[in-house]
Amino acid sequence: MIRKILAAIFIMAGLAAMSVPFFYYFYGNQKSAELIKQFEQSAEQAYRKDGKKEEKRENEAEDECAKIPGHFKDVSLLSSGDVIGLIEIEALDLKYPIVEGTDSKQLAHGIGHIPNTAAIGEKGNCVLAGHRGSRYGAYFKYLNRLSQGNIIKITDKEGNVYQYEVISWEVVEPYDNSVKAQGEEKKLTLITCENSGTMRLVYHCACKG
């Protein structure tokens, strides 16, 4: 009788242990989905508000400086932990919120924008980093499946959408800062772990249009 009870306890303990990874994965996906929903609602509101402003500008003086769609000027909006954008890669069936910062808390539920690199849609090199899969979700787990010509779509907080085309990729040392180098052209760089975290897989993308 005691043996049966002990066996039942061990079985239940084993099932509980097996369910933990599924719980974290489910929780991570739910949290990411919530952040995406909140972002999309916020971006839609900003888009509608900006549309009204554009209609008003049509009746104003011609020499007034109009806002250029797609330019992200308010750097204060890039506060730590805020969702600043949305990344979608159709080729990988990937859709995640982009957050400002790359510490463990931020990367637990999204793709992180590396500080001091170009903001979404700005001139320069916008660098995004993500886990190569974690208990909370897949993230950049299948990034290595991207091929030249694949499209990455990025949406900013104002609802502007930017498309980047994969140009090349490489594996670099973990502290190779050359991948964050800035310039005048609009570029996107995606970074994740490689070789069990000892190296970094880097994808270089160019802005289309």
pLDDT tens digits for 45-96?
Answer: 555 555 544 444 343 333 332 233 443 333 333 333 478 999 999 999 999 9
pLDDT tens digits for 143-181?
Answer: 999 999 999 999 998 889 999 999 999 999 999 999 999
Average pLDDT, the chain: 76
Instruction: Tell me what percent of the residues of the chain surpass a pLDDT of 90.
Output: 50
pLDDT of amino acid 164: 96
Q: Residue 112: which pLDDT band, with cuts at 50, 70 and 90?
A: very high
Mean pLDDT for 15-25 is 45
The CA distance from 209 to 203, in Å, is 19
Is it the case that residue 34 has pLDDT exceeding 70? no
pLDDT of amino acid 206: 96
Q: Which residue has the higher pLDDT, 136 or 40?
A: 136
Q: What's the whole-model pTM score?
A: 0.68
Is it the case that residue 131 has pLDDT exceeding 90? yes
pLDDT of amino acid 143: 96
